[in-house]
Amino acid sequence: MQLGVEAFVAMGLYLAATLGIGYAASRRRLAHTPGDFFLGGKMTGPLVLFFTMQATQYSGNAFFGFTGMGYRSGAIWILAIPLIGLIITAQLSFAPRLYVLSKQYHYLTPADYYAHRYGGSAIRIVVAVLTIVSMFPYLMIQAEATGHAVVALSSGVLPFWSGVVFVSLVMAVYISIGGWRGVVWTDALQGLLLTLAMLAATLAILELAGGLGSAIDILDRIQPVLLAAPGDIESLTSQWLSLLIVSAIGFAMYPQAIQRIYAARSERALKLSFTAMLCVPFLLGGCTLLIGLSGAALHPGLEGTASDQVFGFLLADLLGQHHWLVVFVLCGLLAAIMSTSSSVVLTLSSIFTRDLYQASVRPQAHARELAIAGRVFTLVILLLVVLASFSSTTTLWRLTEIKIEFLMQLFPPMILGLYWRRMSRAPAIAGMLSGSAVVLAMIVSGHARWWLFQAGLYGFLVNLMVCAIGAWRVNPNREEASRVEERFFAPFRG
């Protein structure tokens, strides 16, 4: 059974509503400045901040990548719950302190902090390029999740490319006209919608499988390995401890999440949103596990990238008895994809505009020129993502791992710069470059893992060692030490 015309009309109306929100947001713009376009004037309250942070953390990857991981991993994917909790904990290690600095010194992009803390344009360019390159696979994940959903739910009538192209066009329009407010206002709607859709899909899929007990009985007969714990400490460390560490640090460094820290109206608003975020992993992490187990019972034998489509196959199974539920879930899926993609694209646009175009190409550019440059970059990167997604042969989870392994290289200079006075520019740049080089070399040579750990963790350890040794050996001059003390440590005394 396929979705009828009325279902596609309903989804079209939903997409039209996002365009309407983007238009309404454009009418509320207070000033034609990068700060207003990219951060909404830093006046985002706790409720909207919570929903926009949730919507950007849980994307199309939650519906396809995380459920695909649950499908392949089995019961051990219960670790998705502490994994998500660790991400929030890692963010809390720097968010309150970074917020105070961003408010005082008017940061716009993640690279603003690094450039201000360490001085010079070189570190700004390194951070900007590393961030854009790292997040490109993430945008591919969202595009591919859209294509998988459209193919599965139309039983192959609609091609993969149609969903990718159409949703990308809609996002390009409402990002360009609405800016930050267009993104976060749609996030408020989409964050609520994706949560309800994930919960509804989980309950319906469990019913389809005959309940959790029935799904477990089936797996015990056909794939008992999915119910077994890792056989020894070495495999547990290799497969899961490494994953937890890399994910916690890498996901915490999402550039769009850092910009949301900057955009908070107050420190209280920031803390309230993070407190609420700590409750979410138990719901969404558990849902992806239950969907993965049910999918393994009902659709065994899927391998590689095909396993990423199990959620779409399960929704296709539900069409007969739960037609409108599937339509609702599909709208929630689109909400998850669009909320994350639009946030990432807007963030990368601000990074390109401020950290590359303005800093290195046109320092004298006025606000309107910067806004145009940002919109052009939005169109270009969405076009590149669409083209790249057509030929991808990598699982969504592998694309996720590549992204976070590079992003985590931004963490040592961030955390050491916030808490260690001796940390300086040369060790920060050397650390990021050496860590990223280790990750790239291991991936290109076919060693995504070596011994017990992933490439990202080895790169991180090299990065941290270079930063620590370099900072210890390089003694800042009196002027630099005074600058660092006054600007980055004095605000937190007493």
Structure tokens at 323: 């037609």
Q: Left, alpha or beta for 181 (phi > 0: left; psi -120 to 50: alpha)?
A: alpha
Q: Would you give the end-to-end CA distance of the chain in angstroms?
A: 66
Task: Tell me the pLDDT tens digit for each residue of 157-201.
Answer: 777 788 778 777 776 766 666 565 666 777 777 777 778 888 999
Distance CA 369, CA 72 (A): 48
Q: Which residue intervals of 240-322 are DSSP H helices?
A: 242-252, 255-263, 267-277, 280-298, 310-318
Q: Are 185 and 24 in contact (CB under 8 A)?
A: yes
What is the pLDDT confidence band of residue 141, given thresholds at 50, 70 and 90?
A: confident
Angle between helices 425-444 and 110-118 in degrees, nearest 10: 130
Cβ 171 vs Cβ 342: under 8 Å = yes
Rounded Cα gap, residues 252 and 294, in angstroms? 30
Task: Give me the pLDDT at residue 323, please.
Answer: 82
At 126, the amino acid letter reads V
Q: What percent of the chain has pLDDT over 90?
A: 35
Q: Closest Cα partner for 61 from 83, 37, 33, 39?
A: 83
Pairing label, strands 449-450, 453-454: antiparallel
Mean pLDDT of 141-146: 74
Say which range, 201-210, 325-334, 434-443, has the weakest mean pLDDT.
Answer: 325-334
Q: pTM for the whole thing?
A: 0.82
Q: What is the pLDDT of residue 455?
A: 94
DSSP string, 361-419: I-TT--HHHHHHHHHHHHHHHHHHHHHHHTT--S-HHHHHHHHHHHHGGGHHHHHHHHH
Domain ranges of the chain: 5-396
- Across the range 267-276, mean pLDDT stands at 86
- Give per-residue burial for 341-353: e unless 16+ CB within 10 Å, then b: bbbbbbbbbbbbb
Quick one: which of 31, 181, 127 has its CA closest to 417?
A: 127
Average pLDDT over every residue of 6-17:
72
Least confident of 69-78, 151-160, 214-223, 351-360: 151-160
- Range with top average pLDDT, 84-93, 380-389, 403-412: 403-412
Q: Which fold has domain 5-396?
A: Sodium/glucose cotransporter (1.20.1730)
